[in-house]
Amino acid sequence: MITTKSIPKIKKLLGKSKRNRKIIGFVPTMGALHKGHLSLIDKAKKESNFLVVSIFINPLQFGPSEDFKKYPRNIKKDKKLLKKHGVNLLFYPQADKIYTPDFSTFVQEKEISKKLCGKSRPGHFQGVTTIVTKLFNIVEPDLSYFGQKDYQQALIIKKIVKDLNFAAKIKIAPIVREKDKLALSSRNAYLNKKERKESRAIYQALFQAKKMVKDKEKNPKKIIKEMKKIIEKKPTAKIDYIEIRKAKNLEKIRKIKGKIFIGVAVYFGKTRLIDNIIIQSKT
Ligand code: AMP
């Protein structure tokens, strides 16, 4: 595995791969890798023949009161894992090379970004779309992989690819979960024992929703009410949002119909966790 921090070096290397007609697969991450990241990497490895992973904790996507400083960092362990999973190139840039002191250009998607997590985390998605645009311009991938765990983010990336004519094809991979069904996340490390135990309520609520849809409940409000009950029982939980939306574009729906997204954001103590399921309802 080649590891580089240098943008000119990566451009030179990848230009060569392109000339050799390699299919460049790309998985952007913020490091502290877990099995969720590795599932994207394994999928990308199968479908491409030159695999690039980036590790960059993007300051632009963290709000002023968020966890940028304490975000977990473990580059040694990450490098080992990436080697083991057959990654060809690790791009591990320095923040001051990505955002030079005179940096003044931002990429903003203005529709899907306004909703759900966009409301709770102003500026977050602009940070994401700006860094992904930069990384796509540096790596020029043919295929790039994102997790359903951050479904809104994946939809926004798909939208900027369409709107700005990027060549990359975006693939969305399923959510990898712990044994008790909590979605894997680097932020799970912040949870204390009690919070960790109570965080199971997220999946229990999603599971209840799935069951209600299967039993032909058509009213999203009724489903959300039941989900709330499950989560609110937990003393350390504070709901940010529970929403049921059209999966295609996260538009509001009055009735359960077609492919739907059920998304949850909940604080356990100070840690904000997100999760979702996507269901194709029968009618
Ligand atoms: P992050 O390092 O948190 O920016 O995540 C990098 C990529 O991994 C994103 O596309 C995430 O959606 C994806 N990802 C994070 N957690 C999971 C998970 N539990 N299952 C699948 N993909 C995930």
Identify which of 37, 54, 56, 170 to mutate to test ligand 1's pocket (most ligand atoms within 8 A of the CB): 37
pLDDT of residue 22: 92
pTM of the shown model: 0.98
Provide the number of structural domains found in the chain.
2
Distance (angstroms) between ligand 1 centre and the Cα of 215 equals 31
Task: Report DSSP letters for 54-81, one per residue.
Answer: EE---GGGS-TTSSTTTS---HHHHHHH
Q: Is the residue at 98 inside a domain?
A: yes
- Of 129, 150, 151, which is best to mutate to test ligand 1, by the most ligand atoms within 8 angstroms of its C-beta? 150
Q: How confident is the model at residue 157 (pLDDT cuts 50, 70, 90)?
A: very high
Domain end among 140, 173, 206 = 173
Task: Determine the structural domain holding residue 122 and report its residue range.
Answer: 2-173
Q: Report the nearest-CA residue for atom 18 of ligand 1.
A: 36
For residue range 180-205, what is the model confidence (pLDDT) as tens digits? 999 999 999 999 999 999 999 999 99
Q: Which long-range contacts (CB under 8 A, 24 or more apart) does 158-165 make?
A: 159/109, 159/111, 159/112, 160/107, 160/109, 160/129, 160/132, 160/133, 161/136, 163/109, 164/107, 164/133
3-state secondary structure of 2: strand
Ligand 1 site residues, Cβ closer than 6 angstroms: 29-30, 36-37, 39-40, 146-147, 149-150, 173, 175-176, 183-186
CA of 149 to the centre of ligand 1 (A): 6
Q: Which residues of 52-61 are buried (b: 16+ CB within 10 A; e: fewer)?
A: bbbbbbbebb
Residues 72 and 106 in one domain: yes
Q: 226 pLDDT exceeds 80? A: yes
pLDDT digits (tens, 9 = 90+) for 67-91: 999 999 999 999 999 999 999 999 9
Domain membership flag for residue 178: no
Alpha-carbon distance of 12 to 18, in angstroms, equals 10
Residues 151 and 28 in one domain: yes
User: Which residue has the CA at smallest separation from atom 15 of ligand 1?
Assistant: 36
Would you say residue 276 lies in a domain?
Answer: yes
Cα(207) to centroid(ligand 1), Å: 21
Which CATH number fits the domain that encloses residue 193? 3.30.1300.10
- pLDDT value, residue 7: 97
Q: What is the DSSP letter of 189?
A: G
* Cα–Cα dist 128/148, whole Å: 15
For ligand 1, atom 6, name the residue with the nearest CA: 29
User: For the segment 238-269, what is each residue's pLDDT rounded down to a tens digit?
Assistant: 999 999 999 999 999 999 999 999 999 999 99
* DSSP strands (E only) in the chain: 2-4, 24-29, 50-55, 89-91, 143-147, 169-173, 237-246, 259-268, 271-280
User: Catalytic annotation on 34?
Assistant: no
Above 90 in pLDDT, residue 16? no
111-128 burial by CB neighbour count: b if 16+ within 10 A, else e? Answer: ebbebbbbeebebbbbbb
